[in-house]
Amino acid sequence: MEEPKLDNTEESEELFEHHRIVADPKQSPIRIDKFLFNRIENVSRNKIQSAARAGNILVNESPVKPNYKIRPGDVISIVLPSPVREFEVIPEQIPFNILFEDNDILIVNKDAGIVVHPGHGNYTGTLLNALAWYFQDKGKQEDVFTSLVHRIDKDTSGALLVAKNELAQTKLGKQFFDHTIDRKYVALVWGDVEADEGTIVGHIGRNPKNRLEMFVFPDGDQGRHAITHYKVLERFGYVTLVECRLETGRTHQIRAHFRFIGHALFNDARYGGDQILKGTTFTKYRQFIQNCFKILPRQALHAQTLEFVHPGSGKPVSFFSPLPDDFSELIEKWRHYVQHRDVFQD
């Protein structure tokens, strides 16, 4: 039986993979781009050369150029984009919001409900379809898949980084792979989080009892290493507004980590946050929560900031995505609740 798939935008955020190859003791001299092209599946020689120009190919822990000649026993390390090309991307005229754009990058302010790229169940209407139309209209002929650097969930809003050429994608991908890109999210979680700040550590993998969910394996016996740092921004008694900084980028990392510590994201249906998890049995309180769910009919998670080294200038840059209207309205509703709590008691 075929394994069930997560929503295609809910795969791992990190779209780059590491290859380590040791040259044979009898290896004859050959250019490293040709050597790797013959050993790594589904990758072009041009992409390998771009990786070398970006400093993503190391031989014996030192970066090399595409014309480097392999020697016997060389230890080669290379970071390349993971293959995500499962479906043809049809250009579609779909509007999307742009926070910033230059010759190398584009920062999209993604709305909640938008799938990032085509996959099972979402063949059209995705952000990648919109980007294909946008780049085509701008006269950009390069493969639209070279724009992908990372992903965020369909129902998560906020800043998404897009590369506009293969070299930019490769340089940015290495930063994601090395965890040097600073990503901060804002989340509303159930319960009064005890510590003002903290770190959640726990391997994340598919839940063996529900393959559509991710699960935290605290002993590290399964899944992939994951670290989420958080600090409390505001407390509302039954829920807490937190800022999350990702040290790693795993599938549903924030959502799975906070459920693991007993603070599921507000209205996160997949992880149980769409129930009244904390509070009272008062009728008016229950109605208040249902009204909150209507205001924000998704998990309360927003990708707010991105900080990284620009692939063209080599200088640090920072981008900020303000909270969308539904999230802001939800926070204001909770502030009003805290100030008039007695009104919600029978």
Whether 153 sits among the annotated catalytic residues: the reply is: yes
Under 8 Å CB-to-CB from 96, ≥6 apart: which residues? 108, 109, 110, 111, 114, 127, 130, 131, 134
* CB 22 within 8 Å of CB 75: yes
Q: What residues contact residue 313 under an 8 Å CB cut-off, 6+ apart?
A: none
Greatest Cα pair distance, the chain, in angstroms, is: 83
Nearest Cα neighbor of 104 from 309, 321, 305 is 309
Quick one: CA torsion of 318, 107, 105, 42, rounded to 10 degrees? 120
Inter-residue contact 72 to 28 (CB < 8 Å): no
- Asked if 204 and 253 count as a contact pair (C-beta separation under 8 A), the reply is yes
The one catalytic residue in 33, 74, 104, 153 is 153
- CB 240 within 8 Å of CB 200: no
Tell me which H or E stretch contains 128: helix 127-137
Q: Which of 107, 118, 245 is nearest to 187 (CA)?
A: 245
Residues that are catalytic: 153
